[in-house]
């Protein structure tokens, strides 16, 4: 059959992050408060994780509410209005409505008109996955300006009595507006998954089991901390190195390292593995924000910009890794 | 084949490197957690460094059985170091 050739649509040659916005819920939760439910101490939690405080959202504060607060800041930073967006992508594992997506509701809440809108589930690698997708949407011509939000309300699926996870997680949202660029500003993504390690970080029971009444305990996250530590430090550090190679830069060219804020000990061990020079500024937002999964990288970048630790034009290595297991890294130009 | 003494001294160097514990304190009867204050994450670093140094595999499931330095030395010796 000799069909007609379909009209192609060309995208921008390159893409870049135009603006970042961060939102942390107002309630600050101390380690002492966490220890009301587990046999632990402020000192133990600080030593094992580097976490001093985290933020928890209010009962009636949804992931869409938090995402909107971060998105408005990112739009303002980018100098873009919501109606100029043509795609809205939300990375989350804690939008506790199976359908519809958080992204469609978010787009409407922002007054973004009728953009393409969808959620992605890549846990703590979500933001880095989303950045790769956003860049490809723009370069492929499917979108011109993309809103990408990493948002989590992990307090909803954390068991406050679980000694392995109760102190790790926090709530928050980080957003980025991505648009066309004349020069390369988001490096090639290096990403993947390892489904053989599904059990390393996992919701303990399915919604179906919960519905059928086999358990009355609301499903929550479980994590094998040692397994995740080993994987992150000794396997995923290689991914970070590949991302540098793919971007054509060396560790000496790097200004900033923003790993997913999983655990300060993982960050420290990764720096050692990567042999990063001391001149590289390292994100340590976990101390006051906890582990916010998909939100952690943009939250950390937002704080570093606000506090003047980094500046527009800096080269930042981002790496996300988490439940799946999944991982993703790329080098970006700081907006 | 490394003998027990060689494994012990190699392991002591690793524990010193990872956790700053004096080499002389790393003796066969010492427990990693209770005596040497090596927590679960530092233990992973010790194990991975030991794997590289002695050319053995120590899976996560076996790490929890390595309570004392002696347990680790025996494990590494039997694993073929």
Strand ranges inside A154-235, DSSP E: 171-181, 190-193, 201-203, 221-223
Are residues A172 and A199 located together in one domain of the fold? Answer: no
Are residues A212 and A310 located together in one domain of the fold? Answer: yes
Residue A230, domain member (yes or no): yes
Are residues A219 and A169 located together in one domain of the fold? Answer: no
Residue of B nearest to A229 (CA): B41
Residue A300, domain member (yes or no): yes
Report the complex ipTM.
Answer: 0.84
What pLDDT sits at residue B81?
58
Contacts of A265 in chain B (CB under 8 A): 41
What's the whole-number mean pLDDT along residues A311-315? 97
Domain end among A164, A181, A198: A181
What's the whole-number mean pLDDT along residues B56-75? 92
| Chain pair A-B, CB pairs under 8 angstroms | 27
Are residues A102 and A197 located together in one domain of the fold? Answer: no
Residue A6, domain member (yes or no): no
What pLDDT sits at residue A230?
92
Pick the catalytic residue from A31, A55, A124, A263: A124
Cβ separation of A224 and B60 shorter than 8 Å?
yes
Contacts of residue A181, defined as CB under 8 A and 6 or more positions apart, other chains included, come to A12, A13, A14, A15, A16
Rounded Cα–Cα distance for residues A91 and A111 (Å): 20
Are residues A97 and A202 located together in one domain of the fold? Answer: no
Contacts of B43 in chain A (CB under 8 A): 226
Are residues A138 and A200 located together in one domain of the fold? Answer: no
Which among A47, A226, A265 has CB closest to B63? A226
Are residues A225 and A283 located together in one domain of the fold? Answer: yes
Q: Are strands A146-153 and A87-91 parallel, antiparallel or unpaired?
A: parallel
A244-295 per-position pLDDT tens digit:
999 999 999 999 999 999 999 999 999 999 999 999 999 999 999 999 999 9
Are residues A259 and A168 located together in one domain of the fold? Answer: no
Residue A175, domain member (yes or no): yes
CATH code of A245's domain: 3.40.47.10
Residue A4, domain member (yes or no): no
Residue A31, domain member (yes or no): yes
Are residues A218 and A294 located together in one domain of the fold? Answer: yes
CB A31 within 8 A of CB A45: yes
pLDDT at A1 > cutoff 70: no
Contacts of A269 in chain B (CB under 8 A): 45
Per DSSP, the three-state class of A111 is: coil
* Domain range enclosing A280: 190-333
Are residues A208 and A141 located together in one domain of the fold? Answer: no
Are residues A94 and A169 located together in one domain of the fold? Answer: yes
Domain end among A124, A150, A181: A181
A185-243 per-position pLDDT tens digit:
999 999 999 999 999 999 999 999 999 998 888 999 999 998 999 999 999 989 999 99
Contacts of residue A273, defined as CB under 8 A and 6 or more positions apart, other chains included, come to A233, A234, A237
Are residues A137 and A206 located together in one domain of the fold? Answer: no
Residue A8, domain member (yes or no): no
Interface check for A229 against chain B (CB to CB < 8 A): the answer is yes
Backbone phi and psi for residue B70, each to the nearest 5 degrees, phi listed first: -60, -40
Residue A1, domain member (yes or no): no
Domain end among A158, A181, A204: A181
Cβ separation of B39 and A229 shorter than 8 Å?
no
- What is the tally of structural domains in chain A? 2
């Amino acid at each position: 059959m000799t069909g007609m050739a379909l009209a192609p649509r060309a995208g921008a040659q390159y893409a870049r992050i135009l603006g970042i916005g961060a939102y942390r819920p107002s309630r600050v939760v101390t380690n002492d408060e966490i220890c009301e439910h587990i046999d632990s101490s402020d000192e133990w939690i600080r030593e094992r994780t580097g976490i001093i405080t985290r933020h928890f959202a209010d009962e009636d504060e949804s992931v869409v509410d938090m995402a909107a607060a971060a998105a408005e800041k990112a739009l303002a930073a980018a100098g873009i209005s919501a109606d100029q967006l043509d795609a809205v992508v939300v990375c989350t594992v804690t939008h506790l409505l199976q359908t519809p997506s958080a992204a469609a509701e978010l787009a409407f809440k922002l007054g973004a008109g009728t953009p393409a809108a969808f959620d992605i589930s890549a846990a703590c690698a979500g933001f880095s996955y989303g950045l790769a997708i956003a860049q490809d949407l723009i370069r492929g011509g499917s979108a011109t300006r993309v809103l990408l939000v990493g948002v989590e309300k992990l307090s909803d699926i954390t068991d406050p009595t679980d000694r392995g996870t109760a102190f790790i997680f926090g709530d928050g949202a980080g957003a980025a507006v991505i648009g066309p660029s004349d020069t390369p500003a988001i490096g090639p993504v290096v990403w993947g998954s390892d489904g053989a390690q599904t059990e390393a970080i996992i919701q303990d029971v399915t919604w179906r089991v919960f519905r059928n009444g086999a358990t009355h305990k609301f499903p929550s996250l479980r994590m094998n901390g040692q397994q995740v530590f080993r994987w992150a430090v000794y396997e995923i550090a290689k991914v970070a190195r590949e991302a540098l190679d793919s971007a054509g830069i060396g560790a000496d060219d790097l200004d900033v390292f923003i790993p997913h804020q999983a655990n300060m000990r993982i960050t420290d061990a990764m720096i050692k593995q990567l042999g990063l020079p001391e001149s590289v500024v390292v994100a340590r937002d976990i101390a006051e924000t906890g582990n916010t999964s998909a939100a952690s990288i943009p939250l950390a970048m937002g704080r570093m910009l606000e506090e003047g630790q980094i500046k527009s034009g800096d080269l930042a290595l981002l790496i996300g890794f988490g439940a799946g297991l999944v991982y993703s890294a790329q080098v970006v130009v700081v907006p | 084949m490394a003998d027990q003494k060689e494994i012990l001294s190699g392991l002591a160097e690793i524990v010193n490197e990872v956790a700053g514990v004096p080499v002389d304190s790393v003796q066969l009867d010492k427990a990693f957690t209770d005596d040497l204050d090596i927590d679960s994450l530092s233990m992973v670093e010790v194990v991975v460094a030991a794997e590289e140094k002695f050319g053995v595999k120590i899976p996560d499931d076996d790490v929890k059985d390595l309570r004392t330095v002696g347990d680790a030395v025996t494990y590494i010796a039997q694993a073929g170091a």
